[in-house]
Structure 1
């Protein structure tokens, strides 16, 4: 019996140690798990804090701290604005006082103008040595006589520009030559006026180029008055007319260069409604 009891005690001793080890293992495992979870939690919190923290500021580069600031080159001063060139005064029209007394005829012709009255053929001449083209002057006079407010448009005659035989001549002459031609017919024009003679119309070059100081219009418009007035005498209107009333248009047969007496300057025999512009007879 003693031999059997010894082994039984050994088995009980081994059994106790086995139970103790078995009890200790779960405790150790729990400790290990707790330690691992704590490390993991610490590692996670560290990462989260690292993620939320502001990124570290990079240290300035040596070049940025030692280089001198770059100063842009100074801008060149603005160029001064060019001074405006002084305006040239308008070229003064110089009208020669006299000429040779010889004339060049315009080599030009046209169709008759007008619808009633006798046909009157005219020729245009310009004194030699002056700055007026005979051909251009003839074309301008042709347009004046064909104007819708002129004589021909209202049955007071028909006119035709010709270069040969003519019923009358329209001469553009220097003041001295115009005075001479007009005086041959007893008319004193004082170097300023135009006239109508037995040979035709004499136009003072000064009036043709400069117009009149009493006329409110350009020289080109005043030329209408010259031709209409003198051709009016040529077709038989002998009398000069006066102003019909203050503010009214002056008759074309009024000597407007001598004063308007309250009228408005006017270069046409008829108004825009086709009514003849008349006034009291003065001479």
Structure 2
């Protein structure tokens, strides 16, 4: 408020007009108006002050909003950078341990048969001497005389019964070239009840003891790592050393060797004896002891050819 306005405050009535007598009233009213005009200056100054304060507040709020927006954007940018760094680190970190399932593709939404687990590349020379059996069973393979069978794996080999059984089943299910061709035999894996034979996967030392008891054969010097064997009846023994290492004639052909190993020993359970190579260049019969040499024949793991011919040769000496 200005000093002149404080110096001459006019007297006011209850109606808000300047008070006074009849004489000199016009002057007083003029003075009152002058006073009111003088008081208008501080009022105008307050308005400017309010405007200035409002402008300052707008500027402050605007700056605060900018700072807040900039801080939020910086936080989001830092978060994105951190996420990117974490993703890059995870991608660069190799998976360790025997199980790499986390890197496998996502399981499809539709049902699909499980893929047999991969076999290890190493094996123990001795295992526990106890066995786990494959559960469940299969449909009947073929139309001939039915041979039910079980599959067992010695504990401690690092191989699941399901993985080994899946490979055995696939071999015995071949109705074109396997033992079930031509309607002579049929096969079905079961987990209980009577069976024609049981197929075991065992360590080299267990295979040795098994075969010594079954057929009274010392197989330790038969081949490096030993061989497989059968008692020509209810027991088939597959040596994991042979299953993984194969033989010199089947290097790089594991599926073909596995077919040979199963078909040879199951052939004994079907009462087939050993035979020899029929002639140079011919496919080696599965009932030939191929681990001892092919003698001019070429590798073969199936009892029948693609056209249904039984592959055999002269009886072994």
Q: TM-score range by the shorter chain?
A: 0.5 to 0.7
Match of 1:214 in 2: 249
Provide the C-alpha distance between the structure 2 equivalents of 1:189 and 1:104, rounded to a whole number of angstroms: 25
Structure 2 Cα separation of the partners of residues 277 and 103 of structure 1: 34
Let me know the Cα RMSD of the aligned residues: 1.5
Q: Flag the 1:244–1:216 CA change in 2: closer, same or farther, 3 A.
A: farther
Residue 162 of structure 2 corresponds to 135
Aligned to 1:58: none
Q: Which residue of 1 aligns with 2:300?
A: 266
* Bigger Rg, structure 1 or 2: 1
Of residues 107, 120, 144 in structure 1, which corresponds to 2:171? 144
Measured against aligned partners, the alpha-carbon deviations of 1:58-99 in whole angstroms (never above 9, x if no partner) come to xxxxxxxxxxxxxxxxxxxxxxxxxxxxxxxxxx92221111
Residue of structure 2 equivalent to 1:182: 211
List gaps (5 residues or longer) in structure 2. Answer: 1-119
2:136 aligns with one of 108, 133, 138: 108
Asked whether the equivalents of residues 256 and 300 of structure 2 are also in contact (C-alpha less than 8 Å), the reply is no
- The answer to whether the aligner puts 1:256 opposite 2:284 as a matched pair is no
Superposition pairs for residues 8-27 of structure 1, below 5 Å?
none
5+ unaligned residues in a row in structure 1: which ranges? Answer: 1-91
Q: Secondary structure at the match of 2:139?
A: coil
- Give the Cα–Cα distance (whole angstroms) in 2 for the partners of residues 188 and 154 of structure 1: 36
Moved >4 Å (runs of 4+): none
**Mean Cα deviation higher: 182-191 or 265-274:** 182-191
Say whether the 8 Å CA contact 1:110–1:162 is kept in structure 2. yes
What TM-score results when the alignment is normalised by the length of structure 1?
0.64
Other structure's SS at 2:315 match: coil
Secondary structure of the residue aligned to 1:184 is: helix
Q: Which residues in structure 2 correspond to 1:1-283 (within 5 Å)?
A: 93-116=121-144, 118-147=145-174, 148-165=176-193, 166-185=195-214, 186-190=216-220, 191-197=225-231, 198-215=233-250, 217-237=252-272, 239-283=273-317
CA displacement, residues 126-160 of structure 1 (integer Å, 9 cap, x when unaligned):
01011212112112111100112001122231111
